[in-house]
Amino acid sequence: MKLVDTGNHFAAWGARLARVEVVSAYPITPQTQVIEEISRFIDEGEMDCEYIPVESEHSAMAAMIGSAAMGVRSFSATSSHGLAYMHELLHWAAGIRLPMVMVNVNRAMGPGWNIWCDHQDALAARDTGWIQLYCASHQEVLDTVIQAYRISEDFKVILPVMVCYDAIFISHSYMQVEVPDQENVDRFLPPFRSLWKLDLDYPLTHGSVIYPDDYEEVRFSMFQGLDNARGAIRRAAEEYRDIIGNYHGDMVETYRIDDADCALVAMGSMASECKMAVDMLRDKGYRCGLVRVRSYRPFPIAELRELLSPMRAVMVLDRGVSFGLEGALFSEVKAAIYGHGDAIVYNLITGLGGRDVRYDLVAERTEAALEGKMAPESNWPSLRLTEHHRVSKRGLEEYWKREGVL
């Protein structure tokens, strides 16, 4: 069935087709349409599911942990401040080893209040033990939510999965998507399974105090689970292609990379923009390609090594910043290919707070890098001083004068 709808509504379709049985969520712009659509599905009898309208994101994740611990497939959706508010329980869900899926609509962090896209929210949740998958299209959002349950419930993984997609660009824009048949989704995704649940016949205690003598082993098992997820992500992508037909890459997606000697690296919808930048650079005679990082955690170390080690230059685009260092993806790409090849790695930090990332700007800055006109460090190519900043500065200057600060 072909449907024209928003990215948010397709995330809800993903949960519906995955036969989710408990949804617990708290509204936050730009995620609200996800839970509105799910509650509509439930009200109209199209989805057999309990919906818990919790009073905060912290509680949304706590309720998810409760329902998944009872052995029921669970789903939530959040964004930005909501993700930050539930941060403690992101650690808990992963640490106690529960399979579940949550979509995070990537939105900038305040202040200043900003409901538009960047990746700062999810990047700040990087080290919680969650698998993080980034989508670049509406179709990929729907397909990835379904795949995420396969990955999360894989017995060698048993970890929660966060499906990330960009605020407004994907969440609120309308696109045509092929909605797969329930029958085929059921063939791809078996009923919920986990390695443990709260069971009246086996009254075990979960999540208790662990002394230093035993703690590191628990953390190492999470480390192994994330490592095993690489295989699970590849298998899920391939089997999904075989059964349902769509394929968006596995750990990474590539574009015109085979004969390239320079590569763009990006995540999310910005990577679609980069495809046009690649075409533009190719037209100018640069042998350029694209690597879109689809799985940020686990990080595609092997893929990046293989793809990027023959390159002479790599341009990494970050839609977020690790303050006091550089773009986080930039750091990690460099770390992954360290000692493998001679590529010089450049970095653009751009598109923060929903600012448009234009393919011609990406192409122009990449060309500058290739022509030796850019330092291999973080560059902020879209910074500009507008009249708004000047008005704000004049106001502050008056205050500084009055307070004797200047």
Closer residue to another protein, CB minimum distance, 28 or 288: 28
| Residue 103 in contact with another protein, rule: CB under 8 A | no
- Interface residues for another protein in 35-74 (CB under 8 A)? 50, 52-56, 58-60, 62-72, 74
| Binding test (CB under 8 A) with another protein, winner from 40, 43, 46, 88 | 88
| Binding test (CB under 8 A) with another protein, winner from 7, 16, 21, 253 | 21
- 23 CB-near residues (< 8 Å, 6+ apart): 15, 35, 38, 49, 50, 51, 52, 74, 75, 76
- Interface residues for another protein in 239-268 (CB under 8 A)? none
Total binding residues for another protein by CB under 8 A? Answer: 42
Contact in structure between 148 and 77 (CB atoms under 8 Å): no
- 378 CB-near residues (< 8 Å, 6+ apart): 318, 321, 326, 327, 330, 347, 349
**If we measure between CA atoms, which residue out of 268, 298, 260 comes closest to residue 171?**
268
**Is 391 exposed, middle or buried (CB count within 10 Å of its CB: 0-12, 13-18, 19+)?**
exposed
Buried b (16+ CB within 10 A) or exposed e, 270-301: bbbbbbebbbbbeeeebbbbbbbbbbbbbbbb
| Residue 199 in contact with another protein, rule: CB under 8 A | yes
Closer residue to another protein, CB minimum distance, 36 or 50: 50
Q: Which stretch binds another protein (CB under 8 A): 124-132, 164-172, 196-204, 237-245?
A: 196-204
Smallest gap from Cβ 98 to another protein, in A, equals 10
Closer residue to another protein, CB minimum distance, 66 or 231: 66
* Paired strand residues for 244: none
| Residue 207 in contact with another protein, rule: CB under 8 A | yes
Closer residue to another protein, CB minimum distance, 70 or 301: 70
Residue type, 9: H
**If we measure between CA atoms, which residue out of 69, 70, 68, 52 comes closest to residue 60?**
52
| Binding test (CB under 8 A) with another protein, winner from 112, 113, 209, 323 | 209
Smallest gap from Cβ 143 to another protein, in A, equals 25
Smallest gap from Cβ 66 to another protein, in A, equals 3
Please say whether the dihedral angle defined by the alpha carbons of residues 199, 200, 203 and 209, taken in this order, is positive or negative. Answer: positive
| Binding test (CB under 8 A) with another protein, winner from 200, 385, 405, 406 | 200
Closer residue to another protein, CB minimum distance, 60 or 266: 60
Smallest gap from Cβ 318 to another protein, in A, equals 31
Smallest gap from Cβ 130 to another protein, in A, equals 16
Smallest gap from Cβ 205 to another protein, in A, equals 4
Residue 3: which H helix or E strand, with range?
strand 2-6
Distance of alpha carbon 212 from the chain centroid: 33
Contact in structure between 288 and 366 (CB atoms under 8 Å): yes
With the CA atoms of 277, 283, 288 and 289 taken in that order, what torsion angle do they form, in degrees rounded to the nearest 10? Answer: 60
Smallest gap from Cβ 45 to another protein, in A, equals 14
| Binding test (CB under 8 A) with another protein, winner from 4, 195, 198, 335 | 198
| Residue 92 in contact with another protein, rule: CB under 8 A | yes
Compute CA distances 279 → 220, 289, 310, 365, whole Å. 43, 9, 20, 14
Contacting residues toward another protein, per CB under 8 A: 21-22, 24, 50, 52-56, 58-60, 62-72, 74, 88-89, 92, 96, 198-200, 202-211, 214
